[in-house]
Amino acid sequence: MAEKWDERIFSTGGFVPGRGEAIDVVAPATGEALSRVGGATIDDLEDAVAAAVRAQASWAALPYTERSAVMRRAAALLEDDPDRLVRWLVPESGSGHGKAAFETALVASEFAAGAAVAAQPYGELLRSMKPRTSIGRYVPVGVVGVISPFNFPAILAMRSVAPALALGNAVILKPDPRTPVSGGLVLAEILAEAGLPDGLLHVLPGGAEIGAALVAHPHVPCISFTGSTAAGRRIGEAAGPLLKKVHLELGGNNALLVLPDADVEAAASAGAWGSFLHQGQICMTTGRHLVPREMAAEYTRRLAEIADRITVGDPTDPANALGPIIDDGQLRRVESIVAETLAAGAALEAGGVSDGLFYRPTVLSGVPLDAPAFEQEVFGPVAPVVAYDTVDEAIDIINSSEYGLSVSILTGDPYRAFELADRIHSGAVHINDQTVDDEAVAPFGGTKASGVGGHFGSSVNVDTFCELQWVTIQSHIEKYPF
């Protein structure tokens, strides 16, 4: 069946032909051609920004109830027919059915939270030394540029797009060219059906040149990027001299800390979910398992047993829990990291083999702290296990990473873990859960090399996608001595 976006982009109010070379959308599991979408050019970007600037002021001037209503309708459309997104997430991003359903529910929650954030208090009364009213209020930045990744393409786009729109901005979205449908075009279709006025959202599939031009554009004062730390550094370097508001949500090498009083069976189950969900292709994936030395052998054995049981294959078959690595380049990187870690002295307990792009869940034990699988963000289904002797040593290991996105502590004494959280340098700490978690109503963001410039979620979106303006009001013109 022909789709609205066949050889098209979404811009200036609808699906229109892109001026660039069309992009083939291919299922990584099978190589099947799923669709062919339009490719955007710099001229398309210029037109989109001009249209966004024209549309934004009147959108921001509407009563908040009208912006909220659009978001509520978008949430209802997706909740009534989640398959309109699920059917693209599964083949296009290689998502298992459970992951795709979970991601779709998250997108609906972002729309609902967007409706709520539009109604948030957007300022405060300030004290003043003068007889006047002094107000600090948040105003929309204008046009927000969003650059989103392939792994959770829908939610990692909409957690920027939905609140930015709800707060009165226009948005230019550049999805990853490997997932342009589930990461942008189908979402634009939903928002258009929900009544979003023309010109406020533009989806421009394309490569790095479109992203670079978006970052550099003088009429796009805010950039929200989710992706690798290396790419985020390049965006920061480009945007810094332009004095833009930049939000970088970057990579992670997240630790799961098993304390000596933890239930080892439950801990291994949580660790497996954290490391293997969506083939480990999540910024919050559990990349380091820290286990007391006396528990390490049993924990590793249980983790390897789980890894061996997990079904891997074409995700269109609901029987397969895991799908493919996104492409051959990423597969080769995962294989190289595992091989180098084994050469450094680690032992292979499970997995370590691939069939096409399907890489088996992999468990490594005895991993040296300077081995690639322990130091780097693997972005594959790899669980490196390290034994520790004291909790102080484990916390030092956790904090030694350049990343600071998410940490898990598994224990029989959650309040003791809460005390330990004070010593951990991480944007999130989850006690008695694994590292992968996100909610539209919670502030999400990393520290150190995992992110800078703001957070997603809840009322913090107001600060991320708005500027703070100081306004004073006096009854009469102030008198001065000259």
Identity of the amino acid at 262: A
Residue found under tokens 């599939």? 205
Q: Residue 191 is inside which H or E element, if any? A: helix 186-193
Contact assessment for residue 386 and residue 288, using Cβ atoms and an 8 Å cutoff: yes
Catalytic choice (283, 375, 377, 466) = 283
Same domain as 262, residue 233 = no
Catalytic choice (92, 249, 349, 377) = 249
Residue 12 confidence (pLDDT)? 86
Phi, psi of 299, deg, nearest 5: -60, -45
Number of domains composing the chain = 2
Q: 216: burial class by Cβ within 10 Å (0-12, 13-18, 19+)?
A: middle
Q: Residue 189 catalytic?
A: no
Same domain as 332, residue 232 = no
Q: How far apart are CA 251 and CA 404, in angstroms?
A: 9
Using the CB atoms, write b or e for 265-284: b if 16+ within 10 Å: eebbebbbebbbbbbbbbbb
Same domain as 229, residue 353 = no
Residue found under tokens 């009322």? 459
Phi, psi of 437, deg, nearest 5: -160, 145
Residue 87 confidence (pLDDT)? 97
Same domain as 159, residue 76 = yes
Domain that holds residue 137: 8-250+450-470
Residue 459 confidence (pLDDT)? 84
Q: Which residues of the chain have a pLDDT value below 70?
A: 1
Same domain as 336, residue 187 = no
Same domain as 190, residue 92 = yes
Length of the chain: 482
Phi, psi of 218, deg, nearest 5: -70, -20
Task: List the CATH number of the domain containing 170.
Answer: 3.40.605.10
Q: Work out the angle at residue 426's Cα, subtended by the Cα atoms of residues 424 and 430, and round it to the nearest 5 degrees.
A: 85
Contact assessment for residue 391 and residue 336, using Cβ atoms and an 8 Å cutoff: no
Contact assessment for residue 11 and residue 197, using Cβ atoms and an 8 Å cutoff: no
Same domain as 416, residue 325 = yes
Q: Residue 222 catalytic?
A: no
pLDDT digits (tens, 9 = 90+) for 148-183: 999 999 999 999 999 999 999 999 999 999 999 999
Residue 1 confidence (pLDDT)? 52
The pTM of this model reads: 0.96
Q: 443: burial class by Cβ within 10 Å (0-12, 13-18, 19+)?
A: middle
Residue 477 located in a structural domain: no
